[in-house]
Every structure is written in C-alpha cells, then in structure tokens.
Structure 1
Amino acid sequence: MSKAIPHQPLMFSLFHILFLLILITTDVGHCFKDNKVLILKKFDQREDSPTPRCLPQKSRREKSLAILEMKHHDSCLGPIKNWDNKLQERLISDNFRVRSLQSQIRNAASGRTEGLSEIQIPLTSGMKFQILNYIVALELGGREMTVIVDTASDLTWIQCQPCKSCYTQQDPLFNPSASPSYQSIPCNSSTCQNLQFATGNLGVCSLDPPTCNYDVSYGDGSYTRGELGREQLNLSSMAVNGFIFGCGRSNHGLFGGAAGVMALGRSDLSLVSQTASQFGGVFSYCLPSTEDDSASGSLILGNDSSIYKNSTPITFTKMILNPQLSTFYVLNLTSISIGGVALKAPGFVNGGTLIDSGTVITRLPPSVYATLRAEFLRQFSGYPPAPGFSILDTCFNLSGNAEVSIPTIRLHFEGEVEVNVDASGVFYFARSDSSQVCLALASLSSDDEIGILGNFQQKNLRVVYNTKDSVLGFAEEVCSYS
C-alpha cells in the first residue's frame, strides 16, 4: 500500500508565499515615502568665541581655476548675546530684501528706471542683521580683504581712504593713493556712462578731479558712494589687471567686519564679466552648513568639473533669457515634490524662479506654497504645532526628539533636472531646544511675483553658473574647502 503524500510542505510553502506578499506590499507602501533623517542635536546654538574669525580666508590655484574658501558670514561676527533676537532679525531683513528685489523686478519689467535707487537689492540692509551669508577673501592692490558674495549684485565695491563716513571693518581700509596700480575712471568714459545698468544710477562727474562717482542707495536708507576706479585684482594668485570697482568713500550699514561686496551678477561691470577672458564666464560654489562656524565651502572661478567633489552627476538647466531681467539668474522651476509626491499648482508656470546667494529663505508663489504646505503637513504628522516665527508660518515642537524623519523636498527644473534639498535646508530652528522648528519656505504676496531660490535651500550643493552657455548646473556635494 502506497504512503499518503504529506501536506505539511505544501502548507509551509503557502505560508511563505503569503508572508512574501505581505513584505512586498509593505515595501510598496514605503516606496511612496521619500524621507531623510534629520539629527536635531546638530542644530543646537552654541556660544560664539569672543573674537571674530573673519580672516584669514584661504585660496589656491588648481590648473586654470581660482578656488576661494567660502564661509558663512557668522564667522566674522563677535559673540551672539541673544540668539532668538538674531534669528528673528535675519528673517526680518531677509523679507525686506525680497520686497526690494520684487520692486526692482517690477520696475525693470515695466521699463521704469526712475527711483531705482530707492528699491535696489538691500545689500547693506541685509548685513545690518548679518544675513548676506557667505564671504570670501580677495586681494586688491596687494591688500587682502574679506568681501560678501552676492549673485544679485553687479558692482563690486570696497571701503576706501580717505573715508568721509565708513562702518567698522576688520581689515585696514584700502588706500588707493598708496597703490601705484590704482587709476581713477574719468567721467567722460563709456564705463561711467554705462554705470546706470549696473547700479540703477547714472555716473556723476566730480569737478576736482574730474572722476566718475557712483551712488548706490538701498531701500532701507543704507548706501555706498564713492568713485569708480581700476586696480589689480588677485584671485588665488591669478592677476586681473584694470579691474573696475567702486571705491567707497561714504558707506552706511553694518557689514560685520567685511570690507565690501563681490558682485557676481551678469552686467558688464560684474566680476564674472570682467574676468571672462580668464575664467570663461563660469563660476560655481558650494555653500557650507550654517550650523557649524568652522564649516567652509568653496567658490571656484573657471570651468573644470574634475575639480569638484560632487557625489551625484551635474545636471544642467537653461537660464531664462529675459532682456528686462538680464542681470539676474532666472530658471524655469517646473514642479516640486514632497516625499515623492509631485505637486500641481498654477504658480509653476509664472515667469520663472530667480536663484540668489543673498536671499536666505526660498519664496514661492502663494498657490505653490499652499499646495506644498498642505502636502508637507500631511506627511510630517504626529508632532505638536508651535507658533509661527516671523515670515515662517509652519512650525513644530520637536523637543524631546533626538532625530526626526522628514519628507524629501525635490525641486524639478526644465530639462528633467532634479535637485534634492539637503536635510539641513528643510527646517529653520527658531529655538535651540527644538521647541520651535519651522519649515524653511515662505509665500510671496501674489502669484504675479517671481519665485526666489534662497541660499538656505542651496546648502551642500555644487551650483555651477555658466554664463557663456546660459545654463546652470546642480550636483550634491558635501561642502569643504580642502
């Protein structure tokens, strides 16, 4: 008599099949959650050292590139007595910069030039509250000095002797009379006549001597005034002869020890345009974390991607060419995804998005921001809410958590370019104990305003500006100077 076939192996197999199906289903559910882990203790505010650490900044030359160490501007400051006030003031001034920038864009789009001095990008107002965040060192006329990097500015300027009215800076003031290579620019020159394109104001002739005077006034009442000059500029020992800059004799604003501003805009007077023969109109930066004063990144002038330390391939999107906004860097932001969920909002089709190294918090059209906020709250749930903080209206109490899992924010640009926002760029820590942590994005006043990609969301990215080919590239990179 034959043996009965045992049923146990069949039951065992069916059990394993069901178990695998459950695992697969669970994994499918998780694949919709595109998250990053944020360690909260990294964002605790520390006591600053009593001595500012603005200088020296490092620089080096590799191949045909100039590489400048880039630091957050807080490394130039003294001790912070009240972190809560400082963080609030940063956002207040950042909001003022955005309003002034939107006013400038509206006037440029309408063809108006009058009153531009009243609505220029508030470089000095930003520094009043220490928010134009990143600095590098350069050498002008044989003197090393620290300057603030700004991609939305078109005239590089520094404070000069004799100074009628100057703010306090760490380096000695530049003395053009002591430099044999310095030359004043005459008022009848084409450079002086074209000054309005870069500053919004016509060059003014002084009588004795007949030199070209510039005047840049900002919306908060701060300003820089002086004469246009030419001087030898050295960037990582690479000489730029006859560099045109503003020699500021009267400057109002608190710049936290920096000597002036390095202009990386697109006008003929910007550093990018003036060094095009050396660097091909290409520069890139990697903005370091703002949580660690010792952190540094790099500003690289020139086009050789083998120098970069990116961990993902560089992908390029087109710059939007708008003759009325020709000095700005504008991109076509086509969508944003939160945790893998693509957002749909009418604001994505309006006028492009400006990328700016001087604006801190990214601004989005109201329709886009409302959609983003709703999806973020849907995915980041279970944490008690906290009061809004200045321009930030979506805040949480994360105290008591060592780390949290946050939805990945991914920016989508024309040409299928995807940019992941670093985990450190998702939340703004209003309080060091994590009791008030806010989504670091804000809404514009209307969908007619142009969006702005701020530096808070550009951290730990290699951002490549190629003005010759009118493209801008992104890649992930852990920022460091070395």
Structure 2
Amino acid sequence: MAWGACAVNAVALLVVMVVAVVLAGGGGGGVHCLEAKRSRRELQQGRFCQCSISFEKDEPFWQEMGGAASGATILELRHHGGGYSSSGKSRGRSREEEVGGLFSSDAARVSSLQRRVAAAGGGGGGEQGMKCAPCASCHDQQDPLFDPSSSPSYAVLPCNSSSCDALQVATGSASGACGGGDQPSSSSCSYTLSYRDGSYSQGVLAHDKLSLAGDVIDGFVFGCGTSNQGPFGGTSGLMGLGRSQLSLISQTMDQFGGVFSYCLPLKESESSGSLVLGDDTSVYRNSTPIVYTSMVSDPLQGPFYFVNLTGITIGGQEVQSSGFSANKVIVDSGTIITSLVPSVYNAVKAEFLSQFAEYPQAPGFSILDTCFNLAGFREVQIPSLKFVFEGNVEVEVDSSGVLYFVSSDSSQVCLALASLKSEYETSIVGNYQQKNLRVIFDTLGSQIGFAQETCDYI
C-alpha cells in the first residue's frame, strides 16, 4: 500500500515497497511490483514491471507473464513508461530537466526513509495497494481500474480486525488506521498515507482472492485506494515486499517460505528481469556462486532490510574510512542512487578521483557532485566498485552502475553515488547499483544473498 515507495522497500526491495520492488505487475486491477525509476546510459528512464497478478473478477484483465516451476513462482520484471525520443527529450522536457526531476524524487524518498528509520521503523513500507473504482482522484494508468463490485470474494476489513491493527503499526499512525477513536469497531478500516514527494493514497483495507502466476492466495489483504496521486508512471499499484505483517512475503509464508529474489536488468538491453518467489535456486541464472551476509537483527527495524557494510573497494583499492564502524545499511529497490554517510562517501570520492584523474571534471548535478566531461573519449576505463558486507562478502557493482550519464553527449557523467547529510543517517544501497545482480532475501534464515547474473526473463 505504501504509495511513494517501490516494491521492495528497503524493501523497501520493493525492497520497500517501494520494489519498490520496488520494486513494483500489469493488467487490470493490478499491483505493480518493484517500481524502480531507472536512468542512463540508455538515455531513458523507466519503471518495473509486468507481473501475473490478478484479483478474482468476472473478466480476465491480467496478462499472464509468469509461472510456477520447480517449486518457485517466477514473475517477469519489465521496463515500461518514461523514455526518451531520438531527440533526447521526454514529454517536452530536456533530458537534464527529466533527470533533475527524477533525482528530486529520489532525494525525497531518501529523506522519507531516514525519518522512518529514526522513528523506529514507523511509516509503513511493506504493504501493497492498488487503485480501485470508483476513484475520485487517480493518476492515469495503462489498464482498467480494479472494480471491487465485480469480484464476488472481495470484502472490506473492519476496524476491529487484526489486519487493521497491523496497518496501524506499519504506518505508525497514533490515531489509528480508521482515523480516530470515536468510530465504531465495525466500520471500515480506512487509511491515509502521504509522502514528502507529494504522493499519497487514501482508501480502505480489504481482502480478496489473489491469483499469482497460478498460485491462489485466499483472503489476501491489500489497500484499495480511491484517491491516489504520485509519480507512478501509469502503474496500477504497488507490491509490498518488506518485512511488515501485511506484505506479500508475510502473507504468502506458507507458499514461498519467506524467500524471494529479484534481478534488475539493464535498460539498454531491452531485456526483462525476474522476481522469483520461493527458495528454489535452480531457477536462477547466476554466473557466480551466491554469497550470503546476515541481516541485522533489530526488533524496531520495521519493514526494512538491513545488512552491515564493512568496506568498499575502488579499482581493487580498499577505501579507508572511520564510517565503516557504524555500518548498518538498507538494501532498497525503491531508491535509485546509493547514498552513503559523509565520511564514507568522501573517502570513496577521493579514491575515485585519484583513479579517474586523467578525465576532466564537470560541474555536479543535483544529488551527484562528482562529475566528468567524457565527450570526445572513445574509450573510458571505469574503476571497479565493490561493496564488502559482513562475513567478507564482496559484491561487485555492474560497470553500468558506476557512472550516471546526465547528458546524452557525455559532457556530464557523474559517479553514481550520493552523500547523506549526516553521519547519524543510514546508508542506502539503491537499485542503480543492483543491476545485473541476483539479490536473494531469506527472511526466515535472516540473510541476504548476492550473485552476478545477466538479468533476462527466466
């Protein structure tokens, strides 16, 4: 339900829901999984994805994009929306204006996550929601609105339900999910969620029969939004992959054992990635062994996925920083650019500038302050970037996730990392640095795995 997050919210994945997941499916009354705004070198931005998710209704609005295989359910993640024409413009705006707006939204999301972490995990982020008819205020979407009246198994949850209580905990709402203490317990469980980037969702908490690539989940709880607004690019809703009681992962524990993974593809390859529900690793196409690091145990972590970042290497050179002593970071598919505490970022920046000194610098852009003018260079040697997590787990970032091309002529190309404002904030590993990686979330085993994988639909 958390509108403004992606799919996996730090999951988000989404993995806030953000997945945003996310992460952020497609189709009629659908929940879009693993919403993740992307960017350049491809000169495009986009969001994920198409998934085979449908609610019980009289007509089949959903296009099946996934399936079950070997004990795993596989959903396709596909870029859609956004995009640039051959002139490098989108919707009448220049590329720089489009990227600037993208980064502004990303900065707002990072600020929102910091507030929620500081508030001991409050503020939602693990639930899913969709736009429902009649919708008093909704942004455009590519598919028909979900019409509850067409589903014989749809029902609104009352205020005195355990799911409504869980919603109150997930959203951090002191006044309750029903808007106040004077409402009768039998009234509908309503919600109002708003975010710093201006996005919001209002509606009721409901349940219905969910068909997920052939798997049927009875009584699936979701937010049915009748007033929604935000930069969702034609999506029908959001899928929650976080650690809250109402997320897809928690609600399908019997079916998938609390394990999911995703692989986010490169935009320029025009390929699609995959979201795998279940623990069958045989369906992956990883080219390196899976390495696991422990999740940070924190009863107040809310829907977020925390791991310990113990180091970073640039071009094989270990970065030295005292900031690695306070090393808890969020793995989030909803945030675009990885944001690091100032002490770590400044050390990474210094090392990168040292190794990239042969290329002329350019002015910073928005949240990116380490930029270069690469126009006229036919070949560029990009230093490798590796994250080192607890247990000496090294994860190399795909070369396309090291630099961000702000301008189409390569006159402004920036290190795709940003600095947080304070040492007291929490670093976030964003989706731009997760491309072409299989990222596995094992909630019961309390571990996150990584492996190199050329992301294409399985």
Query: Normalising by the residue count of structure 2, what TM-score does the alignment of the two structures yield?
Result: 0.82
2:119 to 107, 117, 120: 107
Distance 1:89 1:474 in 2: 31
| Count of matched residue pairs | 397
- State the shift of 1:72 in Å: 3.0
Report the counterpart of residue 288 of structure 2 in structure 1.
312
Report the counterpart of residue 229 of structure 2 in structure 1.
252
Which structure 2 residues correspond to residues 281-430 of structure 1 after superposition, within 5 A?
A: 281-292=258-269, 294-430=270-406
Provide the secondary structure at the position in 1 that maps to 2:268.
coil
Percent identical pairs in the alignment equals 51
Deviations along 1:161-193, whole A, 9 cap, x unmatched?
122221111110101111011111111112112
Distance 2:136 2:81 in 1: 27
| 8 Å contact from structure 1 (residues 421, 458) kept in 2 | yes
Alpha-carbon spacing, 1:102–1:63, altered in 2? closer, same or farther (3 Å): same
Alpha-carbon spacing, 1:74–1:172, altered in 2? closer, same or farther (3 Å): closer
Q: Comparing both chains, which one has the higher relative contact order based on Cα–Cα distances under 8 Å and sequence gaps of 6 or more?
A: 2
Report the counterpart of residue 172 of structure 1 in structure 2.
144
Report the counterpart of residue 3 of structure 2 in structure 1.
none
Q: Which runs of 5+ in 1 are unaligned?
A: 1-41, 121-152
Distance 1:374 1:402 in 2: 25
Report the counterpart of residue 65 of structure 2 in structure 1.
58
Alpha-carbon spacing, 1:99–1:457, altered in 2? closer, same or farther (3 Å): same
- State the shift of 1:71 in Å: 2.0
- 1:242 maps to 2:216: no
Alpha-carbon spacing, 1:174–1:208, altered in 2? closer, same or farther (3 Å): farther
Alpha-carbon spacing, 1:470–1:76, altered in 2? closer, same or farther (3 Å): farther
- State the shift of 1:53 in Å: 9.9
Alpha-carbon spacing, 1:46–1:86, altered in 2? closer, same or farther (3 Å): closer
Report the counterpart of residue 145 of structure 1 in structure 2.
none
Further displaced range: 448-457 or 201-210: 201-210
- State the shift of 1:235 in Å: 1.5
| 8 Å contact from structure 1 (residues 77, 257) kept in 2 | no
Further displaced range: 171-180 or 320-329: 320-329
| 8 Å contact from structure 1 (residues 53, 76) kept in 2 | no
* 2:212 alignment partner AA: L
- 1:43 maps to 2:49: no
Provide the secondary structure at the position in 1 that maps to 2:411.
coil
2:135 to 152, 163, 170: 163
Distance 1:208 1:159 in 2: 25
- State the shift of 1:319 in Å: 0.2
Distance 1:338 1:252 in 2: 40
1:226 to 203, 212, 233: 203
Alpha-carbon spacing, 1:228–1:198, altered in 2? closer, same or farther (3 Å): same
Distance 1:327 1:208 in 2: 27
- 1:67 maps to 2:103: no
Deviations along 1:417-461, whole A, 9 cap, x unmatched?
100000000001000111110000011111111100000000000
Report the counterpart of residue 96 of structure 2 in structure 1.
84
Distance 2:45 2:341 in 1: 37
Deviations along 1:404-426, whole A, 9 cap, x unmatched?
11111111001111000000000
- State the shift of 1:61 in Å: 1.6
Distance 1:240 1:314 in 2: 30
- 1:268 maps to 2:242: no
Distance 1:234 1:77 in 2: 34
Comparing both structures, which one devotes a greater share of its residues to helix? 1
The structure with the largest alpha-carbon Rg is 1
Report the counterpart of residue 153 of structure 2 in structure 1.
181
| 8 Å contact from structure 1 (residues 44, 433) kept in 2 | no
- State the shift of 1:76 in Å: 8.4
Query: Normalising by the residue count of structure 1, what TM-score does the alignment of the two structures yield?
Result: 0.78
* 2:155 alignment partner AA: Q
Further displaced range: 74-83 or 239-248: 74-83
- State the shift of 1:57 in Å: 7.0
Deviations along 1:110-165, whole A, 9 cap, x unmatched?
xxx6xx5xxx7xxxxxxxxxxxxxxxxxxxxxxxxxxxxxxxx2110000012222
| 8 Å contact from structure 1 (residues 338, 410) kept in 2 | yes
RMSD across aligned C-alpha pairs, in angstroms?
A: 2.4
* 1:222 alignment partner AA: S
Alpha-carbon spacing, 1:221–1:157, altered in 2? closer, same or farther (3 Å): same
Report the counterpart of residue 203 of structure 1 in structure 2.
177
Deviations along 1:307-350, whole A, 9 cap, x unmatched?
10000000000000111213210000000011111112111121
- State the shift of 1:243 in Å: 0.4
Alpha-carbon spacing, 1:374–1:447, altered in 2? closer, same or farther (3 Å): same
Distance 2:80 2:296 in 1: 30
Distance 2:368 2:271 in 1: 26
Distance 1:305 1:397 in 2: 42
Alpha-carbon spacing, 1:251–1:421, altered in 2? closer, same or farther (3 Å): same
Provide the secondary structure at the position in 1 that maps to 2:78.
strand
* 1:333 alignment partner AA: L
